[in-house]
Amino acid sequence: MITKYREIEERAIEHVADLMCVAARTAPKAKGVDNLIAMVVKGRVKDQLAEEMRRIAKTSGAQFFERDAVCIDKAALVVLLGQKVKPLGVPSCGYCGFANCAENEKNNGLCAISIGDLGIAIGSAVSVAAQHHVDNRVMFSIGRAALNLDIFEEDVVKIAYGIPLSISGKNPFFDRT
């Protein structure tokens, strides 16, 4: 039996994406509260993300969305990490800019500690990609497009990032113009 490199790479990148989601899930969370939503998208859904990013670039003038859409085109798949940003009831915090969690909720604020949990989860996920030598890059633009398209299917997901993955001879996410 012979397994050609394309099949090997396809299986490997999907396996690494799964492991990235596991690493994000098991990353430390404030007060042990898990508000993370993790998923892997490829194929048509990945293409829809790139289309939405191009639309955002045209309507907003923020050309980095177009640049990042080109990166998505070159990616085999995208890991999406979103956070259900809910105040966690940490006394005397104030990192969100409000006096307390009740004020935060009253003003539809975003809990800074909950957002920090998302950052820790992202770091855990990309460390897995790095350990397996899979090219990746954390992109706000992908998360914005995913939220616009309601890919998370949960209104409580307020912040998201995407991590495109590639196995190739040259990292397509490095020399961006």
Residue 175 has pLDDT above 90, yes or no: no
The total number of residues shown for the chain amounts to 177
150 lies in a domain?
yes
Q: pTM score, two decimals?
A: 0.94
64 lies in a domain?
yes
- For 39, phi then psi, to 5°, come to -160, 165
175 lies in a domain?
no
Question: How many C-beta atoms lie closer than 10 Å to residue 131's C-beta?
Answer: 11
176 lies in a domain?
no
**pLDDT tens-digit series, residues 115-151:** 999 999 999 999 999 999 999 999 999 999 999 999 9
Residues 6 or more apart in contact with residue 90 via CB below 8 angstroms: 30, 31, 101, 113
Instruction: Report pLDDT for 153.
Output: 77
Smallest Cα–Cα separation from 49: which of 30, 27, 68, 34?
68
Here the CATH number for the domain that contains residue 123 is 3.40.109.10
Characterise 165 by phi-psi region: left (phi > 0), alpha (psi -120 to 50), beta (else).
Answer: beta
Angle, alpha carbons 70-75-76 (nearest 5°): 150
User: Which tokens is 168 given?
Assistant: 């190739």
18 lies in a domain?
yes
171 lies in a domain?
no
**pLDDT tens-digit series, residues 22-43:** 999 999 999 999 999 999 999 9
Instruction: Give the count of domains, the chain.
Output: 1
24 lies in a domain?
yes
Q: Which domain holds residue 76?
A: 5-166
144 lies in a domain?
yes
